[in-house]
Amino acid sequence: MEIESVSYDEFLDLWEQGAFDQQRLGQAFYNHFRLHQLADQSVLQGLYEADAEKAGTVISRVFRIR
């Protein structure tokens, strides 16, 4: 799966500004990019529950930032 680097950078800026109050990084990423709309959720296993370190690993494994 691909995400445009501009969109990803905007997400990271929002994250650093604290725009996702009370959310883990994986949860914020999942919600921000509306990943609930994907039919196959298997590749996203563990992302929603992931803290910053684990979420970064899942994101880099599953998504191509271009």
Give per-residue pLDDT as tens, 2-50: 999 999 999 999 999 999 999 999 999 999 999 999 999 999 999 999 9
pLDDT at 62: 95
DSSP state, residue 17: T
Handedness of CA 65, 6, 37, 55 (dihedral sign): positive
pLDDT at 58: 95
pLDDT at 42: 94
pLDDT at 65: 96
pLDDT at 34: 97
pLDDT at 9: 98
